[in-house]
Amino acid sequence: MTSADVLVIGSGIAGLSFALRAARFGTVVVITKKDRPESSTNYAQGGIAAVFGEDDSYALHVEDTLVAGAGLCHPDAVDVLVREGPERVRELIEIGVGFTRDGEELSLGREGGHSRRRIVRADDLTGREIERGLLGAIAASPNIRVLEDHAAVDLLTVADPRTGEPRCCGALVLDPEGGEITPFAARAVLLATGGCGQVYRHTTNPGIATGDGVAMAYRAGARVANMEFVQFHPTALYSARERTLLISEAVRGEGAELRRMDGVAFMRDYHPLGSLAPRDVVARAIDREMKRSGDPYVLLDCSGISEEEIRARFPNILRETGARGIDMLREPLPVVPAAHYLCGGVLTDTSGRASLRGLYAAGETSCTGVHGANRLASNSLLEAVVFAHRAAERLKGELSGLALVDSVPGWSGSRGWGTPEGVLLVHDREEIRSLMWDFVGIVRSDERLEFAEARIAQMAQQNETIWASSAPSAEL
């Protein structure tokens, strides 16, 4: 049995920044399903929103966040997010993250829903640069051990001897190489597993974004909230074959315009900010235009941005679209909405504590209430680093009251050793993704939701047989 003071599940900005701080007062094990950099953070293009501009203010950032969240944000959490954000960005700079600068000052971009330029970025590969900086700092910490290619299967709980209430004491972890599920004991666990975009047919999320953290927390008895609030990014590059490519909000922030196939701009018909409206407004508008016309996509016209600016500001998008046979310097980009971000998740307080004692959550896995029904662009990386920091600070004062459990429960799930036919797993996975896209997507109705619920319940029952008779695997 492996043990540590703190077990971190996930290796994005939330998990790694938490691990760095927790390593100051305890031993930390970080587990990740793939290799270390593979996380939603690594694919984040736009940036991290924080108040640095002279014409900006905390009040303006708070207002923009509340408006985007459709009145359903938790104001106290939003205030924490905005006021503590700049200091967390400075800490990222201190560990070596190289953000783009204009001379000595940070270069600030603007994205949809923001009233000011406040997007701190590293060209159009911000997430990758943050991940690089954090992994470098992690490698230099003697108190942190990272286990790649390990998948958490379930959280472990025991009764607290003082209260009789359950508390989290670790997790069951699958080592794919040996096919063994082994217990990892910990005094506290942080869930930082990202979102669940892979349950949709079209998503900007990497393959690891399968909602594991939320599911494990729910099964363990922790509260979850706002699971219906899935954000659809308005502009993913349309392709019938290639992996979905996100076209950053920042492209519209610098002057790109959404147009119908006949070349007519349409976003002013839906919102005064036009193509810079909040994401939910733009995604619904595109969906409506596509349904009205029957076209499979709309056009993102980048002609309002100079070639020099595109090459300097969006080198990765220019390279990736070019690899797909599209020259964004000369022709508009075909774009469609795609599932992008889970605004709900494991319910936490503003210190990252879940309702289950000993369990913490941060980043997209968590629901702090800062996003309400719709996340403001570039507030996700900010939320992750702000509340991961607060979770670590809270745990520092609570760790002494969380004893390491000597004996933890073992695996009691599937007991068979068979291998299910791959076609069965692929078929079920693709059916779920199609059901979610068609019936639980951008526009929903009671009839669609009831149909999807009934069919998924049938599939869950059918899969119980496969689960009970098969050896554990990452695919299952």
Active site residues: 279
Sheet with strand 224-225: strands edge to edge: 224-225, 345-347, 366-367
- For residues 190 and 359, what is the distance between their CA atoms, to the nearest angstrom? 6
Name the β-bridge partners of 8. Answer: 30, 190
DSSP strand E in 136-216: where?
144-147, 151-159, 166-175, 180-191
Q: Which helix (H) or strand (E) holds 298?
A: strand 298-301
Residue 125 structure tokens:
């590969």
Q: Are the C-beta atoms of 379 and 81 separated by less than 8 Å?
A: yes
Do you know the residue count of the chain? 476
Backbone angles phi and psi of 105, in degrees to 5: -95, 155
Q: Residue 104: count other Cβ atoms within 10 Å of its Cβ.
A: 5
Beta strand pairing call for 144-147 and 28-31: parallel
Question: Residue 274 — left, alpha, or beta (φ > 0 → left; ψ -120 to 50 → alpha)?
Answer: left
- Rounded CA-CA distance 44/126 in Å is 6
Task: Say if residues 129 and 97 touch (Cβ distance below 8 Å).
Answer: yes
H runs (alpha helix) in 208-267: 212-219, 249-253
Residue 233, helix vs strand vs coil: strand
User: At 222, phi and psi to the nearest 5?
Assistant: -75, 150
How does 438-457 read in b/e, with b if 16+ C-beta sit within 10 Å? ebbbbeeeeeeeeebeeebe
d(CA 456, CA 17): 36
- Rounded Cα–Cα distance for residues 194 and 160 (Å): 28
Q: Which amino acid is at 33?
A: K
Check if the beta carbon of residue 31 is closer than 8 Å to that of residue 150.
yes
